Structure 1
Amino acid sequence: MTIINALTKYFGYKDFRAGQQEIIDEIIQGKNVLSVLPTGAGKSICYQIPALISDNYSIVISPLIALMKDQVDSLNKTNEVAAFINSTQSYYETEKVLQDIHFGKIKIVYVAPERLENPEFAARLKNLNPQYLFIDEAHCISEWGHNFRPSYTKLRDFIEFTGIKKISAFTATATPEVVKDIVKQLGLKNAKVIIKGFERENLFVNIEITKKKKERCLELVHQFKSPAIIYTSSRKKAEELAEYLKLNKIICEYYHAGLDPIIRKKIQEDFIEDRLPLIIATNAFGMGIDKKDIRLVIHFNSPGSIENYYQEIGRSGRDGKNSHTFLLYDESDIHIHEYFISNSYPTKEIIKNIYNAICDSAQIAIGMKSDKQIPINLGYIKLHTKQDISGAILNSALKYLEDADYISVNSAYKSVNKIKILFTETRLKSFVKGTSNELMKDVLLNFLRNYGKEIFSRLTTIDLIALQSETGLTKQETSETLMSLEFLGILEFSKADGKESISLIKPRVRVEDLKLNYKLINELYI
């Protein structure tokens, strides 16, 4: 199938938009591409078409469940070629998707980045031999980006673990710093960076200084009608503004991450299907929303960054028709963002406190160094530092310490299952001959066949997925059999915990002697 055939068959178009074919051609030629396209330029087609015409399946990393569902539903209108795997699915639903990939039914699978942090799941994807890895909303990988998500920073570990070579990333908003950081964080070799214009000629951008923001929102909604989105900086403001507009006979709903997922889904679907004309939302709403006729976007408060602002106003007028955006500014907005900044990036003191907490958790004294891997325990770190440290702040602090060569963060993918046979070879052969338990016999014979005498002398890394495949045992049967063998004293089983850990590279130093990149820390924090 040619790319034009795929465009017509799956999307109903005869021609590509500007820039799309260039990007698709580069991907098909095997290049690693970083594409920066303006909102509404059709970036999803740039990775969907290479995936649809490829020999094997492709993985798309997508940050939002709603976006996955929309794109899968759209692709499956003709044939069932796409699926998603996320936290809303049962074990059996996930297994069905993996089986469909195995039998060649599925060409594109959408996966949330957090899902890849499970090494067992990552191994399943690896064994299915993905052809491409596509990262949507790639700015989420960069601390310089406006929607930084720590789970995106683990993608390089996944890439190295699976050995995928054909990797492309997509975003609508990336400064030069973010572009460099995406390439670095993903380890893209000889990356082809394709940047198409940011200008949206059909958007009329307005900024107003006013303290009567609620009243002005009411005027604008009456003037420009709907569909419309009003963005606020907090959940409380979204709720208060929605209440004010409802009292003034405006049909609307508020939307934020604190709502029940079912309610959020209903509000989003009502908005997309034109049953709801206006949404008042935090920035939890909008990424990946495929609604082309939004006519008005109002920012009740100043956004956190120019990239955030560009992406949010870019949700209007995607059908090419004239649309209006308004930013309502007053000086108090700055205080809100000072608070958010202080809760998004670690200070020098927090980094020092986290370093002490890690070393203390492993009982490592000043000047000493342990060869053991130290588990990352956020709960312990919070108690030790007496601070409410978020996962994002911890991740950033660890990165600064790693960049300065004080620690090494060990990928969850390097957490492995190991066994050691405690019986002598003679005693083990006697047990295998005498046991009536066929599951134990199959497992032990498999170990002897694949690992030889090594498993009698030391803990040896084993592949549980290969074991299940070769013996025909289920995951539960394998786990129960290994636990029984350990209980009987036949073997020692060291189970992978599937979690990140830390190793000290240098002996522990006093925090006053830590030599970190304080210039970068200050730039991000300030």
Structure 2
Amino acid sequence: MQQPLDILSKYWKYESFRDPQEQIIQSVLNGKDTLAVMPTGGGKSVCFQVPGMMLPGLCLVVSPLVALMKDQVENLSRIGIRAIALTGGISTDEISDLLDNCRYGNYKFLYLSPERLQADWILERIKELPINLVAIDEAHCVSQWGHDFRPAYLKVSVLKKYLPNVPFMALTASATKRVREDMIKHLELHDPAVFIKSFARKNLAYMVFEAEDKLRRIQQMLVKNPQPSIIYVRNRKACYDVSRQLESLGFRATFYHGGLTSSEKQKNMQLWMSEQAQVMVATNAFGMGIDKPNVRTVIHIQLLDNMESYYQEAGRAGRNNEKAFAVLLVNKADTQIGKNQFLEVLPDKKFLKQVYVRLNNYLQIAYGEGINESFAFNLNIFCRQYDLPVVKTYNALQFLDRQGIVTLSKEFSEKVTIQFLIPSKEVMRYISLNRNDEEAILTILRSYPGVFDMETSLNTDLIVRKAKISEEELMQVLKRLHEKEVISFRSLGNDSKLTFNEVREDELTINRVAKFLEKQNNIKTQQFDAVISYIENLQTCKSRLILTYFDEEATQDCGICSYCIAKNKKVKDPSQVALQVLELISSEALSSRDIEEKLELTPDEVIFVIQILLENDKIKINTNNQYILK
């Protein structure tokens, strides 16, 4: 029998394993259930792919992301290993044919999402396959304490009944002790061997900086570190806006978010991977399975809702083991914005009951009825009818889905994308000749400044409210513009499908699940509080804070984070700095920013010295907001 290192060398061209890959592989080869927690970039996939190649039969891989499955199948195919992924959009007949190929076609890996396991006929077919190993990737999704709970993962353990003698391997990049315990429990791992690689990244400097002007701070960092960088933002519009701002400053930038077409994603990804673009501005849709070793800087300009996500995204810097930076830029408004975005939209028991009762009334379900009934459902229309906040209502419906009360498909309101095909001055001319369309067009232009440059998804509910028109009137305007070749226009009707799994019982139903809702809200609050503690704690090494969060003991400071640098930095004598400022502005008028850059001072140091000089009548400010000698 070939040894693990032989397989690694033959297919992946590596001459040695990283710690603890070889021990994990040996555990699987010994037939043991195994739990592996390995930080981002630690080489988790090799841990199941090598034994999958060594053992006779087929390795079944449960993975949550279509992009990640496709990426791994392509990578395996490239090195001569046969693999299949059961991704979305495949018909039942095609799935059946692919499973036949797995049984008779000498395939080594079958990738599928946990949702596929909810179909009994697929489980029956899997039982017939020569499965040698079940690998559950992103296994933290099984835990409600995890940062990305996914109810379908709770059904993965059913495979244990079908494959009682097959070893199971659970893999994740980040998990606290509580999440690890949940993974073992919910996946029904039997006496598993547990491997936890240290979360310490000795080459990665975790930085938290207060910055009122975040774009300027980004500019300084990208000039100082011109190597490949990632800037994470919260939404699709910010992707476009920040990348355009960086390009206007002379940087080569591109962007990536979930709303781009496959070809656009591939094109922008290639620009960055080939280093034709220095900066990738992205939402959290970017990064999973992306392995670019020489990323120098990862910058977050908005808060995340949990430390697990931050650690994973920050960890995409410095995979070549050279010094790299994970920077979080914050200002005074960020904490409240984060609370509004992450905590204020959590439904409480009263709101959950309100949504549930109105949902039943909206779909005309009588008390004691409704089980197994399915309906087409448009979230925006429902919320508009009852004047409900969309995000909070969506969270309430998601909770009902997780508790098995309803089943809700993932697509929601009608998706509308447009792009203006004529110059802005021609659009203004069109408006002057078509006054009835003016309010709708101007609202779109104000809300989506990039709509001339790229195909843009419209939030029709937002446009309707701002323009004070009906959705039908908006659609008529868009169709007219399309017919006159003013815009390109695509409309994909994709109402969700909602199925009731229980009879309507109002109070009884909500009372039964209220304790789980309270637990969920407490978890999310604690996770966000941990983020706030990370940015506000000025007395502890940032690396130690992260290690402590993941229940790992840290015995010494890292020496390279923002706290350690500030602690070791020599305090500058204000009187000496004042003399330097006076000398600088004796020859030219300078702004506080100019002084900051020329003397390499912090904003606080500059403000303090300038205030002293102003109070002592040594300097004054001119009409251009610059400082000159008095």
Amino acid at match of 2:328: L
Equivalenced residues, count: 430
For 1:207 and 1:524, the matched residues in 2 are separated by: 24
In structure 2, relative to structure 1, the CA distance for the partners of 1:15 and 1:121 (3 Å cut) is same
- Out of 167-176 and 26-35, give the one that drifted further: 26-35
For 2:51 and 2:153, the matched residues in 1 are separated by: 23
**Residue in 1 aligned with 2:501?**
502
For 2:244 and 2:131, the matched residues in 1 are separated by: 49
For 1:48 and 1:267, the matched residues in 2 are separated by: 29
Structure 2 length-normalised TM: 0.61
* Contact persistence 1:132–1:164 (CA under 8 A): no
**Residue in 2 aligned with 1:495?**
none
* CA RMSD between the two structures: 3.6
* SS of the residue 1:14 aligns to: coil
Structure 1 length-normalised TM: 0.72
* Contact persistence 1:57–1:108 (CA under 8 A): yes
**Residue in 2 aligned with 1:430?**
none
* SS of the residue 1:220 aligns to: helix
Q: Deviation at 1:28?
A: 2.1
**Residue in 2 aligned with 1:17?**
18
For 2:505 and 2:257, the matched residues in 1 are separated by: 45
Amino acid at match of 2:514: L
**Residue in 2 aligned with 1:309?**
310
* Contact persistence 2:142–2:150 (CA under 8 A): yes
Q: Deviation at 1:380?
A: 8.6
Q: Deviation at 1:89?
A: 5.9
- Greater Rg by CA: 2
In structure 2, relative to structure 1, the CA distance for the partners of 1:122 and 1:353 (3 Å cut) is farther
For 1:95 and 1:263, the matched residues in 2 are separated by: 31
For 2:251 and 2:319, the matched residues in 1 are separated by: 24
1:314-393 aligned at under 5 Å gives the runs 314-342=315-343, 345-353=346-354, 356=357, 365=367, 373-375=371-373, 379=377, 383=382, 386=386, 387=388, 388=390, 393=396
For 2:79 and 2:248, the matched residues in 1 are separated by: 45
Residue 397 (structure 2) pairs with residue 397 (structure 1): no
**Residue in 2 aligned with 1:67?**
68
* Contact persistence 2:296–2:317 (CA under 8 A): yes
Amino acid at match of 2:399: S
Q: 1:36-62 CA distances to partner (integer Å, 9 max, x unpaired)?
A: 112222111111112111221111122
* Contact persistence 2:347–2:393 (CA under 8 A): no
**Residue in 1 aligned with 2:519?**
520
* SS of the residue 2:327 aligns to: strand
Amino acid at match of 1:379: F
Q: Deviation at 1:88?
A: 6.3
**Residue in 2 aligned with 1:492?**
none
For 2:329 and 2:270, the matched residues in 1 are separated by: 27
Q: Deviation at 1:91?
A: 7.2
* Contact persistence 1:354–1:381 (CA under 8 A): no
In structure 2, relative to structure 1, the CA distance for the partners of 1:22 and 1:353 (3 Å cut) is farther
Q: Deviation at 1:281?
A: 0.7
In structure 2, relative to structure 1, the CA distance for the partners of 1:115 and 1:271 (3 Å cut) is farther
**Residue in 2 aligned with 1:79?**
80
For 1:359 and 1:160, the matched residues in 2 are separated by: 37
RCO comparison, higher one (Cα < 8 Å, 6+):
1
**Residue in 2 aligned with 1:237?**
238
Amino acid at match of 1:221: L
For 2:72 and 2:211, the matched residues in 1 are separated by: 39
**Residue in 2 aligned with 1:50?**
51
Q: Deviation at 1:304?
A: 2.0
**Residue in 1 aligned with 2:41?**
40
For 2:321 and 2:30, the matched residues in 1 are separated by: 32
Q: 1:453-496 CA distances to partner (integer Å, 9 max, x unpaired)?
A: xxxxxxxxxxxxxxxxxxxxxxxxxxxxxxxxxxxxxxxxxxxx
Q: Deviation at 1:110?
A: 1.9
- Unaligned runs of 5+ residues in structure 1 are 413-497
In structure 2, relative to structure 1, the CA distance for the partners of 1:344 and 1:193 (3 Å cut) is farther
* SS of the residue 2:78 aligns to: coil
In structure 2, relative to structure 1, the CA distance for the partners of 1:375 and 1:170 (3 Å cut) is farther
* SS of the residue 1:219 aligns to: helix
In structure 2, relative to structure 1, the CA distance for the partners of 1:111 and 1:275 (3 Å cut) is farther
For 2:98 and 2:117, the matched residues in 1 are separated by: 15
Residue 124 (structure 2) pairs with residue 126 (structure 1): no
Q: 1:57-99 CA distances to partner (integer Å, 9 max, x unpaired)?
A: 1111223333223322332334232232213667787566433
Q: 1:233-283 CA distances to partner (integer Å, 9 max, x unpaired)?
A: 222222211111111121111211122232123222332333432100111
